[in-house]
Chains A and B, each alone.
Chain A
Amino acid sequence: MKIDKNTINKIARLSRIKLDDKESEDYIKDLNSILDWVEQLNEVNTDNVEPLSNISSSILPKREDVSNDTNSSEEILENAPDKLEGFFAVPKVVE
């Protein structure tokens, strides 16, 4: 078993998702079965194969380095759950 209680807690922490005990148990089961299933990729010989991350066949285009004025701070803040004097507001992080 690749994923145990400690591992799921670690991943949940890295993902910033709080899990209750029931959820942790369910995800341990799910993730182990998914990881067992993807193991089959080990059957494939990938020696000397380049990883493919972008299938876009054209060369990535460059753009002119010019400024633009899209995104005003009002627009950016419009959907913020909490804001204060033109900034995003979050719970206090320093005592």
Chain B
Amino acid sequence: MSKSSLKQTLKNLESKKISIRELNQDYLKRIKEKENLNVFIHFSEENVLKQIDNLEKDNSAKKLKGMPIAIKDLFCTKSMPTTAASKILENFNPTYESFVTQKLLDEGSIFVGKTNLDEFAMGSATNTSFFGNTINPLSQENEPLAPGGSSGGSAAAVAADLCLGATGTDTGGSIRQPASFCGVVGIKPTYGLCSRWGIAAFASSLDQAGIFSHNVEDASILLQSIAGFDQRDSTSAKVNIPNYFENLDDDLNGKTVGIPKEYSIDGTPMEISQIWEDAIKVLEKKGVKIKNISLPHTKYALPTYYIIAPAEASSNLARYDGVKYGFRSDEIDSLDEMYENTRAQGFGREVKRRILIGTYVLSAGYYDAYYLKAQKVRKLIADDFNKAFKECDFIVTPTAPSAAFPLNEKQNDPIKMYLNDVFTVPASLAGLPGISIPFGKDKNNLPLGIQILGKHFDEQQVFNAAVSLERSYE
């Protein structure tokens, strides 16, 4: 794991140990050296230098002034194209800035580039991107590994130290799972904490923006910067955003951690069960009470998710019709043919699969049997967590059922691919905050992640537990 730290870099800038230009030139150099990882869909040195010029002329104090930040290419940005890793948006230049990226710009951060992802965030390996795979920076030369997904480019950007933080989005695990695969910190906050405005929509009742960083302290600083109410997102929450960083407290004495027995799943590698036990032991030593809890509907979370997410996706992606923006097919003898050819040629295989399944489960005669049923099970899953959180302050589980796997390994069987999200999806359905932190390695020296889940809008508790575990591990 890299030793970089956004917090330390801010101090170094303040004490003039380093300048904004020197810092970012260092990052530019590394980005160019690591081009082979295919981390960025869009990178322009000129654009970064322009941002440095502008900041040098700006005398105002800004919280993230000069910090090199990478942006998942699902966030609309005025200064850079936005593709969602899809051919259908290959030449899309947004005329507006997403809420999250605007907040980061207001704080003075520098956008180093737009990171690769699974097409429209649909995948767990960043291998459904129209712009090719991203390679996990921890790969050995002879065996390239997947960085996880969908925010694999952002996770890899932090892991390879090509930025001091990155944005991601998490619908079913798309921040936490790649964070685990790449050995970095990744937090998905409570649904509604960060505005979805300006993020290409996948499944709107689940999509949530979040942060990748080198450590928990940095995540707490960056999350505070992107959180906040926004009236342009109808599910944006009007809640007070505490100063997570100032309030960080690694003393967990007297707290209770919930350990859900349903997360012991057959076939989970020994090493993953082992780091889970290790984390529990560390917490016990810190005076945390261990409480075995039950989340009885856990096994139904994945099938529920794979009805709800494609259903919402099929509706959201109806907007890509070759009329308003993006790609349009040349074969356009009639309007219908234009739609059908544009979408056939513009979308990749996984995206089409999800649109088709979503259309089916929403179609007349099947809506109740699939979509409505899934929404009811979703209620039961959310209720499981509500009950569990009456008995504990936070929940600890593994993040993913494996370490990073070789690129292209899991492509053929969709259900096998979907199992990557087994530990992350339940909290997504319940809208809960979750963080993944690196905690231990497997026999091949690849990082493994521990997930900490909290109550709605209790990101502070999630950060406190995470920083405590992180400090015990270092």
Q: Which chain B residues (75-133) contact chain A, with CB distance < 8 Å?
A: 91-93, 95-96
Q: Which chain B residues (299-352) contact chain A, with CB distance < 8 Å?
A: 299-300, 303-304, 306-307, 314, 318, 321-328, 332-341, 343-344, 347, 352
- CB closest residue in chain A, given B308: A53
**Cα distance A88–B429 in the bound complex, in angstroms:** 38
Tell whether, in the assembled complex, residue A46 and residue B415 are in contact, meaning their CB atoms are under 8 Å apart: no
A84 touches B (CB below 8 Å) = no
Please give the number of chain A residues whose Cβ is less than 8 angstroms from any Cβ of chain B in the complex.
Answer: 52
B9 touches A (CB below 8 Å) = no
In the complex, which residues of chain A have a beta carbon less than 8 angstroms from the beta carbon of B338?
Answer: 90-91
- The digit string for A29-65, where 1 denotes a CB below 8 A from any CB of B, is 0110111011011111010011111111110110100
In the complex, which residues of chain A have a beta carbon less than 8 angstroms from the beta carbon of B370?
Answer: 38
B294 touches A (CB below 8 Å) = no
A interface: dominant SS: loop
Interface centre among B93, B326, B356, B373 (most CB of A within 10 A): B356
A1 touches B (CB below 8 Å) = no
In the complex, which residues of chain A have a beta carbon less than 8 angstroms from the beta carbon of B334?
Answer: 91, 93
Tell whether, in the assembled complex, residue A46 and residue B373 are in contact, meaning their CB atoms are under 8 Å apart: yes
Selected interface stretch from B210-218, B263-271, B357-365, B461-469: B357-365
Please give the number of chain B residues whose Cβ is less than 8 angstroms from any Cβ of chain A in the complex.
Answer: 71
**Cα distance A69–B66 in the bound complex, in angstroms:** 32
In the complex, which residues of chain B have a beta carbon less than 8 angstroms from the beta carbon of A34?
Answer: 306, 357, 414-415
B187 touches A (CB below 8 Å) = no
Q: A14-B363, A41-B303, A58-B237 are in contact. Are A46 and B380 (CB under 8 A)?
A: yes
Tell whether, in the assembled complex, residue A53 and residue B238 are in contact, meaning their CB atoms are under 8 Å apart: no
B235 touches A (CB below 8 Å) = yes
Residues of B within 8 A of A (CB): 91-93, 95-96, 191-192, 205, 229, 231, 234-235, 237-239, 297, 299-300, 303-304, 306-307, 314, 318, 321-328, 332-341, 343-344, 347, 352-353, 355-357, 359-360, 363, 370, 372-380, 382, 414-415, 429-431, 456-457
Residues of A within 8 A of B (CB): 3, 7-8, 10-12, 14-19, 23, 27, 30-31, 33-35, 37-38, 40-44, 46, 49-58, 60-61, 63, 70, 75-76, 78-82, 88, 90-91, 93
